[in-house]
């Protein structure tokens, strides 16, 4: 009979990091670089400038420990609004990266191998889930059949398809077979839960306002935290940015060691402190090689 002490959750950290826009989520990754972790960032936001300059300021000798790939579908302005140029590819490319971190850029071929085999000294970062969800929608929309009667596709079907693939992706990244630390960054979306319709006025009443990671529609967002043993919140109160580990009345948080974990940490060192409670620091050895040909 297996001992609970040997449960696989002890081996890797799977963290959902949520916060409002501009609360310091991306820049705070610098403390993990300082601690010696190797970061592989799936950059869906194209907002890594702050992390670059913080690393150059605090630990310039470790900037080579951060590898990234930016994936955004190209768009153009038209009379009917913004449109994707060609076929949407960002989401499919992202899924390929989770299977093998391999691609070609202007400097040659990049091959960091299989992310699920990177081990405890590497962290796969998805920045952010919000934009990954947008990319999933853009991928699913052209696949949704168009009604012969209306000439339009059913948005409900697009929602269903894109929600399913995002949930499947989260299940993969947090599965026991994905042997790498994972951080998924998401924005906060506030939703009314448990509301009912007043039969007289038709208004929704009696609900509770709760915060969830921003996903695709109200069906997916409450399910996202279920995949993560660790959920933290970034707050900005009076100009002081904080990584919070204990729940608020509006947002439920979690971590595997609540008795050892502080209720909050300053965000400039918070992620390294959080990881330090859960696991041993990275071994100072060579990680996955960045292969260019």
Contacts of 201 (CB under 8 A, 6+ apart): none
How confident is the model over 148-193, as pLDDT tens digits?
677 788 889 999 999 999 999 999 999 999 999 999 999 999 988 8
pTM above 0.85, yes or no: yes
Contacts of 176 (CB under 8 A, 6+ apart): 8
How confident is the model over 70-108, as pLDDT tens digits?
999 988 888 777 888 889 999 999 999 999 999 998 888
pLDDT of residue 103: 96
Average the pLDDT over each of 46-50, 86-90, 109-113, 193-197 and give the range with the smallest value: 193-197
* Token couple for 27: 């820049």
- Category of 206 on φ-ψ map: left (φ > 0), alpha (ψ -120 to 50) or beta: left
pLDDT of residue 147: 75
Report the alpha-carbon distance of residue 271 to residue 25 in Å, rounded: 10
Report the alpha-carbon distance of residue 246 to residue 169 in Å, rounded: 27
Identify any residues that bridge with 182 across adjacent strands, giving them in sequence order. 14, 124
Asked if the model's pLDDT at residue 9 lies above 60, the reply is: no
Domains assigned to the chain: 4-278 (3.40.50)
């Amino acid at each position: 009979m297996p001992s609970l002490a040997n449960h696989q959750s002890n081996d890797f950290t799977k963290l959902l990091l949520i916060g409002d826009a501009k609360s310091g989520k991306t820049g705070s990754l610098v403390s993990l670089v300082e601690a010696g972790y190797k970061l592989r960032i799936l950059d869906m936001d194209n907002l890594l400038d702050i992390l670059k300059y913080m690393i150059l300021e605090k630990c310039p000798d470790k900037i080579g420990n951060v590898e990234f790939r930016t994936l955004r579908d190209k768009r153009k302005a038209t009379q009917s609004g913004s449109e994707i140029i060609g076929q949407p590819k960002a989401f499919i490319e992202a899924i390929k990266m989770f299977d093998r971190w391999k691609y070609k850029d202007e400097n040659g071929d990049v091959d960091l191998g299989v992310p699920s085999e990177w081990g405890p000294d590497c962290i796969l970062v998805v920045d952010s889930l919000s934009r990954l969800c947008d990319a999933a929608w853009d991928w699913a929309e052209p696949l949704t059949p168009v009604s012969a009667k209306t000439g339009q596709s059913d948005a409900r079907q697009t929602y269903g398809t894109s929600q399913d693939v995002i949930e499947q992706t989260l299940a993969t990244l947090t599965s026991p077979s994905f042997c790498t630390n994972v951080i998924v960054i998401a924005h906060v979306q506030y939703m009314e839960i448990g509301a009912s319709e007043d039969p007289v006025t038709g208004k929704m009443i009696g609900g509770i306002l709760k915060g969830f990671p921003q996903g695709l529609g109200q069906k997916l967002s409450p399910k996202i935290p279920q995949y993560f043993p660790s959920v933290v919140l970034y707050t900005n109160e009076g100009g002081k940015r904080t990584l919070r580990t204990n729940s608020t009345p509006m947002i439920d948080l979690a971590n595997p060691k609540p008795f050892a974990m502080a209720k909050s940490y300053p965000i400039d060192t918070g992620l390294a402190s959080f990881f330090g409670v859960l696991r041993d620091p990275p071994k100072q050895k060579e990680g996955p090689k960045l292969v260019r040909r």
